[in-house]
Each structure stands twice: as C-alpha cells, then as structure tokens.
Structure 1
C-alpha cells in the first residue's frame, strides 16, 4: 500500500512500518546500521524492478530512488538522538514521538529531492497527508510491538506461575518428609540407647529379656519403613535415581562438607569448611566412607563452640588413601584421649542432661577396620584436632554389591533357611 502525494517518485507507504518495527524490536543492532541497511535494500530493490521493466536506465533509476535512503537513514539517526527505544515504556508518548520522527524523515527525503532538482507541488493538504500517514504508521507499530511484549510477559508470568506451583508442591512434600525424619531421629536415638544398654548387660553377663531384642527389631523395622517412605518421596520430588557406580574421593568429601554445612547452620555456628586434595581415585565404597567421615566432621562441628574451621585433607601414601579431618575446636582433654574409642565413653550431653551413647567413634573405627584400614587421633590441642583415616586403595577399588543385590541375596537366604 502506497501513495504518491506529489505526482513524483516520492511515496509514503505502510512498508515503512516494517522498518519502524525493526528499529524498536532489534535492540542488539545499532539504529544507524538498521537505517543504512534498510535504505540500501530499498534503493537496490527499486532499481532492480526498474531494470526489469526497462522504463529507465540504471543510472537514472539510481538517481531517482537514492533520496529514499535519506528517509531511513535520517529516521534512524533522529531515533538514536532522542533515545527512542527508551521511550517504549510509555506507548502514547512513544507513538507521538514516532509520528514526529516519521514526518521529519519524510521532510528530509523531500528536501533531498528538492535539492536534486525534482519538481513537485507542495501545499497544506500535503502536510496533513504526511502527518496522517506518520500517525498511522507510528501508532500501528507501537500497538503491534506492545501486543508482542504483552504476550511475551504473559508467557513469562505463566512459566513463573508453573514454577511457583512446582516449588510449592516440593515445599509441601519436604515439609511432610520432615515429620517422618523427626520421628525417625527420635526413634533411632532411643534405639541407640537401648542397644548400648543391651550390649552392656550382655558384657556383664546379666539376664536379658528376649522381649528387649524383639522391641529393638520392631523399632528398626519401623525406622526402615519410614526411611523407605522418605526416600521414595524425595526421589519423586528431586527426580533422581540412586547413586550407582564409582564416586571420586573429592566428590565424596564435597558431599560430607555440604551435609555438615547445613548441620552447622542449623546449630547456629559459623564454620568454614574446605577440602584440600588432588587425587585421581574413585571408589564404590560410598556408604562406609560416608559413615566414617560424617561422624568425624559432625564431631568437629559439635566441638567448635561458635566459629571455626574444618578442613578435609586427602592424599595417597604408598598403597593407602589418607583422609585427615582437622578442626580448630578446643581439643580433647589429655585424660580423655585414651578412652575416646571405648564404647560408651562420651563428653556430650543434650539439653535435658542425657549423655550421648558414646559409640560414634567406636563405630567409625570398626568400619575403618572392616575396610582393612585404621582410624586414629593424630593430634589434639587447643585450636587443632586431627583425626586420620587410612584405607588400602586396593579395598576401595573392589566392587561392592548394590542394595538391590544385597536385598535379593538376603531374601534368598531367608527362603533357603525356611526350606531347611
């Protein structure tokens, strides 16, 4: 759609609206680049059409249509000068400024044509027509642009709404799992105490009611069911499979650090955790190593009063993997060092004054020995306590059966015993 108000090659059309829209939409490009490239494309296309019809020579056609490039170049330069793209937040004002730029750009093209000696008649009616076209094209472009922006904003809002709903579902699911965890934690603490009491009675060869062992088995069974529910719920929320295959030692230590960072934060302590080690070793002995390291690092967190540092050092020494857990806590009293690995020995009490079970370090030492290694206290003084775990690398590289395989084997054993 176009018109020639002066009975000359000068024209006004809705095609310029496409250029206007591109000028405000393609913000990554310079306005002058858009104006110059559009002007060159328009002039080139008109010259090409004239060459097909043969109405005039290429040079005449070029001189005739070259002023049209002045419209696009002058429009883009004025748009850059008034920072037109920053005015798009106010549609009415942007439409008014756009109409003024359109009218002035047409005036620049007319001035170029007049300077090149092109005859045309100019009147007040012509000015009105140019203003009408300028207003029409400007507000048309502003309207289309705002519809596109509105659609884009709505799509973003819908995406954010869906993400918020998903996060609310996740939060609701985690809130539900938290109750199971609190219940299981209390139940496991009670089981630990009763198990140690049972151990003490057996050591002292006292009579033990069979009912005590049965109650422990029932509590363990209930805890296992709770753990299964929690694991199923978290797996559904997170959408991840069980950990399989070998895990790098660095990632294993990172898992321990991340878990205990949350523990320290929950305890209201400011503790800086770090890992120091450059070893290329992977293992599938994930759960035993996690048990030992989590015990050592959580003990370090509990030992530090308010603020401090906990560092994990990992290195290879001969055929052994050495992992040292160092903290800046108050250290272990000299009189207690000989007893820290004895079952039942503890210096920790809860808020009600109940002592801890005192089997954490014993359990960690037993796991280390099961792996063919050892756990020892290397150094303990105010401001520096170091525990060292040493495990043969050959044992770390051995394959261990998965939980599913162990469960299958256990069921097979039960069925075999039932047959016998």
Structure 2
C-alpha cells in the first residue's frame, strides 16, 4: 500500500511539472493551437523515470494541463483537443514499452518524433478537420518541423543527462577502484597465510596417514602416542593461524563494507556488462534480457550481485550454443522477487531435489571432469536463506529450460535506514 501511495505521489508530481511546462508555448497560426514545452519534457520524464507507466502519465498530464489552462482563463471546449495529444503520446510510448522498444537512443528519437508528429496531427484534425491537410501542406510541414525540433531538444537533454550521470559514475568508480586496490593488497597478505597453512595441512595429513598405516600394521607401537600428540599440536597450530587469517579477513571486509550501497539499476548495468563479456568468452550466442518493476536502493548489493551472477552463470552453462536468459524483478508488499529464466537443457526431475546440495551437479564433462550445471547453487541457497532471510524455488523441464525464483523480504534489501534516500 505504501508503495502504491509513493507511486501515485511521484506520478502526480511529474504530471504537475508537465502541466506547468504546457503553460509555456508559442502560437501556431491555427486558432488555439500551440507548441508547448511540455512535449519536450514528456519523453524526458519517461526516460528518466522508467518505472512510471507512460499511459498513466499521459492521462495525469492531460488532466494537469486541463486544470491549469482552465485556471488561466481558457475556454473548456478549446482544451479537449490538446488533452488528446498527451493521451496519444502516452499511449504510443506505452505500446512501445510493451514491445520492448526503444532499445537505443536512435530508436528513442524516432519514437519521440513519431509521437509528437502524430499527436499534433490528431489535435489539428480535431480542431479543423481533414480538408485543411489536403488544401494546405504548410500545416503538415509545420507540424513535422515542430516535432523534429522538440524531439531534438528532448534528445539533447537526455544525452546531456546521460553524460552527466556517466561523469558522476566515473568519479565514483575511480574512488571505488582505489579502495579495491587497497582491499586487494590487504587480502593478498591473508591469502599468503592461507597458502602457507595449506602446506602445513598436507604435511599433517601425511603424518596422520602414516600413523594410520602403523596402527593397521601394528608397527612402531611405542611411537603411536607421540605421533598422535604431534598431530594434535600441529592441528592446533594450524587452527591458531587460521584464526588469525579469519580475523584479518574480517577486519579487511569490515572496512571495505562501509559502502554507501547502490541503486538496483546500477547493479543491473554492472551485471549486464560483466555477464555479456563472460558470454563472449564462452563463445555462445546468448541474449540477456533485464526487466525490473522499480528501482530501489540497497546496501546488500554484494549479496544480491552474487546471487544473480551465479544464477545467470548457471543459466548460461545450461544453454549449449544459442538461447535467451531473462532476468525479471517485481515487488510485492512483503518481498522483492527475482526470476532468472533460460531456455537451455533443463534439469532432470530426479536431480531437482538435490541441486542445492553442496557439491552436487547435474551436468559434468566426463572427459575433462569439469562441473557445469549446479556450480554455485549451494552458495546461492546459503546466501538467500541465511544472509538475506529469503527463499528460492526452481521450476524446470528437460530440453525446455529452467526458472529460478528468489524471494527476499523488502526490509532485508532496503532496510529502514534507506527509507529517506531518494531513488535516482
């Protein structure tokens, strides 16, 4: 309910802005027909606030325009044709969004141009009828020129905003890169100790096996006690050193995790870019699709990134050569829900109850011994259940694909401390 109220407030605010922008216009020579700044602001807002339904925005904008122009003293009957402009504009963008268009700035420019031109043509038709178009092509040329100018200005604003955000992100990434270098340098020290202890473990294992052999063959009976004591001492030393390593890693992570967090759309962008590189390296023709209901701010981005990355990796490995992976997000009152779907090999029915077991894999290359499907699922389950207090489900059919559904409580991802942080 809170989310619905929040969305309604956001929709009302941007509709009011469009309504105010509609008060700034230049006159066309047709009576009561104007070219307003609102037609520039409308596509910019749709681009910046992807979670807003364009159809709802069209309806809200037409009402906002109507009320403000009415207060300004215009006749009610003169306002209805221009109201249809915003309704058509929003409707065209809504249909385009349903069809997963536009995919790039060029397609967005053409969509804005078409919406503006078609909306104006319809408005002129309502005002003067069709005969004027056939009798005087100046009107159509004027509408097309206005659509080109307004679409061009809208794109300049969008591109400028995009470059500005890229500049800010670049600065933030540089700062994070410096922290990452320091973080990696400190971890290297701890990794050195872990490698050193691995050598100790191998020696202890060798001594343990030797003691087992002596006991089995009843050899050197008088040394059994000393050998066992020596093994215990060595294990205790290894434990102490690993305790130091663990405390060192925890200290490094504690300092590193003092992180402001990120918005979900930023996480998706990072994930998309890194996974597409991984797909290229695997030499597969796989298309990644991302859809999310709304943006949100989270400080659990490390866990969330790990979960989604592992699920996408498994989906990628389940697709032999060519296919699609769809990552979808939606939100209920209690949970953030994430779905990772693929049209790959699927999981055998007898394997499904075991896919989250440590070490289990339903796809192994017996020639190389490489484990593919299943890698990371145990880790994913642990993070979702233990760290994020969520749950995970899987649906799969052999030779048709799989769908992993992850449900994480809203409070776990957003948290009370994030309520006052605005979503960009």
TM-score by length of 2: 0.41
Q: TM-score, normalised by structure 1?
A: 0.42
